[in-house]
A = this chain, B = another copy of it.
Amino acid sequence: MVLAKVVGTVVSSHKAAKIEGIKFLLLEKIDPVTMKGKGDFVVSMDSVGAGVGEIVFYVSGSSARFTGVTEGKPCDSAIVAIVDYIEKDGSYTYEKNR
């Protein structure tokens, strides 16, 4: 899974029938040490109610179809967790409520 920040939304009125009603979030991949964005973006389907500004991790490929929201759908990226904290080498690089 890859760590990213929710930075926006993508809206489409004309899309494959199977993905009607799903929220498409714009994610920017982050470096988990500096917590800075990498300028690399992906559109991800939300399965956990993530919001703009939150740090999440998403799953790619066929496994992105293994959430309740995305099963059987043309989806290759699904947010599966909102991150509370990231700990690296004994210290926190990220704490959500701080």
A1-28 CB contact bits vs B (8 Å, 1 = yes)?
1110001111111111111000010100
Contacts of A17 in B (CB 8 A): 68
A56-90 CB contact bits vs B (8 Å, 1 = yes)?
01011111111110001111111011111111110
Once the chains bind, are A8 and B88 in contact (CB under 8 Å)?
yes
Contacts of A18 in B (CB 8 A): 66-67
The interface on chain A, measured as residues whose beta carbon lies within 8 A of the other chain's beta carbons, has a size of 60
Once the chains bind, are A43 and B1 in contact (CB under 8 Å)?
yes
Contacts of A87 in B (CB 8 A): 8-11, 26
A84 and chain B: residue at smallest CB distance: B11
Residue from the set A9, A24, A39, A80 with the largest chain B CB neighbour count within 10 Å: A80
A44 and chain B: residue at smallest CB distance: B1
Query: What's the least CB distance linking A62 to chain B, in Å?
Result: 5
